[in-house]
Amino acid sequence: MTTRAAKRPRCHGSGPAVCAHPKRTRRSLQTAEETSRQTRPYLQESVPTEVLVHIFSFLRERELARVARVCRRFREIGELQSLWRNLFHRVFELEAAYVRPSSSDQKTPPTSELNWKEQFALMHGCLHVYPKMASLPLSHPLRSEAPYSQYFSTISEAVQSSSEGDRIVVHPGVYNETVALDKPVQLIGAGPEKVLLVNSSLTVVDVKPSAGDATIANMEIKFDAPEDNPSLRQYCIQVPGGASPNVHNCHFTNTSFCGACVYIHGSGARPRVTHCTIANANNVGVFVDDHAHGYFEHNNIHGNKLAGVWIKNYASPVFRENEVHHGKDVGFFVFQDGQGVLESNDIHSNRIAGIEIKNDANPIIYRCSIHHGSTGGVYVHDRGRGQFIENKIFANTYAGVWITSESNPTLRDNEIFGGLQGGVYFFGGGRGVLENNNIHSNTLAGVQIRTGSDPIIRNNEIHHGLHGGIYVHDSGRGLVEVTRFIRMRWLEFGSLLESACSEAEQDS
């Protein structure tokens, strides 16, 4: 039986044998590579942008970050603000942007100018106070949109569960509770709707010394005294010695007849309160007591039944560029050894005086505007002191400055003008130093001295008064040095002052 030899594949040429089958395999691989080169441009370059945007809109933040690494076009689409804005709304159920609290005058920019990816990053990983979401099971579709977020029903629960440095975002709503803030965390209200924190029995936010430089921002905080006990002494926020929280863009009001909106007390208390509204309290707006400090900038303090601000017992806060107005009593009341610096504040339209100082209080008032007081601009009495430097005191109903009862303030480089009565009024044993002031255009005397008062008046310019320049009567006395009088209707000195006025100059 003859065995047929296996047919060997034909080879071509004189070199090594090359089979036909391997050639077909090489052609098959080459076709796959060509197909890959054709498919890649289609997915990355040829698919319409609106289709890719629609596809990407179903992705979460981590998937968007991954897909942006594929190619330049995917990265550009993955950075679209519309995608991140929709994801922000879907995950956090908030329409407004989150704004990081700042001591500057920071406001929410227009929607068209926001970076929604950055907004999402700020909110990502926060603790959220949102009762609606906290009540849902983890399997609920709404909770599945935010698998990395923690939700709480109350602010107190979130604070208790937080760690140092955590950010707690409080969603819009009314929260009837009291919060013991004992950790250095950020407690931020999210808008645009109101976040109201209210209580009727205890201080609403009780800051502990261990809170350090905690932040409270973007909230309305109200103590609503019960009708059966309207004199309950509680506060909207209380800051004790050793605490230095940052309070930004909050609205405070207190209906108690004994409490205050903001109460700061104790050595080492140094809060920073900025861009807040402190208004319509039935007692005092801000009370700084017992060696406390603090910084108050760009706040609106108005409509409070007693003083807008109380400072006493060696407290020494700094109030800078605030508006303190339309109080039903005085704007600032500094008493019982109170100190502090009031700088560049607009103090106006208060029912009594813009600033009242008594009982050995000795603040510094610098470059403030004190005007349109229903009674007077400044009232210093009962051994009050104080330094008034480069202020504008004008358009007050009675005297621009009243000094009485053994008080001894210093007024230097001020402009005191446009009073509906006098400029500076010394009576009842008032003393003090008036130096380098511009006192003009007052309806009555530029300076009036009576009833045992004995000031020093040095190097002032007193002019354009509708009545007298300096009027001394009823046992008034004092020392006048190098004072210039211009265009005064008349000038009268009492007999006890005549010898001291030999250097006074009068221009008719």
Q: How far is the C-alpha of 330 from the C-alpha of 314, rounded, in Å?
A: 20
How confident is the model at residue 494, as a pLDDT? 44
Interatomic CA distance for residues 453 and 431, integer angstroms: 6
Q: What does the pLDDT read at residue 370? A: 98
Pairing status of strand 479-481 against strand 215-217: unpaired
Task: State in words which class domain 330-508 has.
Answer: mainly beta
Ordered by start, the domain boundaries in the chain are 98-103+114-309, 330-508
The model's pLDDT over 51-106, given as tens digits with 9 standing for 90+, comes to 888 888 888 777 888 888 888 888 888 888 888 888 877 777 776 655 555 545 55
| 160 pLDDT higher than 90 | yes
User: What is the pLDDT at residue 79?
Assistant: 86
Strands 284-289 and 150-152 turn out to be: unpaired
d(CA 417, CA 442): 6
Write down the pLDDT at residue 450.
95
Q: Render pLDDT for 185-238 as a digit per residue (tens, 0 to 9).
A: 999 998 667 899 999 999 999 999 999 999 999 999 999 999 889 889 999 999
Tell me what the pLDDT averaged over the chain comes to.
Answer: 85
Pick from 348, 368, 265, 250: nearest CA to 308: 348
What pLDDT shows up at residue 4?
Answer: 52
Helices (H) and strands (E) in the chain, counts: 9, 45
pLDDT tens across 338-354, in order?
999 999 999 999 999 99
Q: Does residue 35 register a pLDDT over 90?
A: no
What pLDDT is recorded for position 482? 67
The values of phi and psi at residue 145, to 5°, are -70, -20
Q: Is residue 437 classed as helix, strand or coil in its secondary structure?
A: coil
Instruction: Calculate what percentage of the chain has a pLDDT beyond 70.
Output: 80
In 3-state terms, what secondary structure has residue 48? Answer: coil
The per-residue pLDDT for 504 is 43
Q: How far apart are CA 277 and CA 301, in angstroms?
A: 6
DSSP 316-340: --EEES-EEE--SS-SEEEETT---
**Residue 94: predicted pLDDT:** 73
According to DSSP, the residues that pair with 198 across neighbouring strands are 176, 222
Residue 144 confidence (pLDDT) above 80? no
Q: Are 168 and 159 in contact (CB under 8 A)?
A: yes
Give the single-character DSSP code of 113.
G
Confidence of residue 490 (pLDDT cuts 50, 70, 90): low
Q: Are 143 and 136 in contact (CB under 8 A)?
A: yes
Q: What is the per-residue DSSP string for 341-406?
A: EEES-EEE--SSEEEEE-TT---EEES-EEE--SSEEEEE-SS---EEES-EEE--SS-SEEE-TT
Buried b (16+ CB within 10 A) or exposed e, 82-112: ebbbebbeebbbbebbbbebeeeeeeeeeee
Chain Cα centroid distance, residue 422:
37
Token pair recorded at residue 77: 């689409």
Sign, CA dihedral 282-288-294-296, equals positive
Two structure tokens written together for 437: 């002031």
**Cα Dmax for the chain:** 162
Beta bridge partners of 488: none
Each residue of 113-132: pLDDT tens digit?
677 787 777 777 789 998 98
Q: Which residue has the tokens 């968007």?
A: 64
Structure confidence at residue 146 (pLDDT): 64
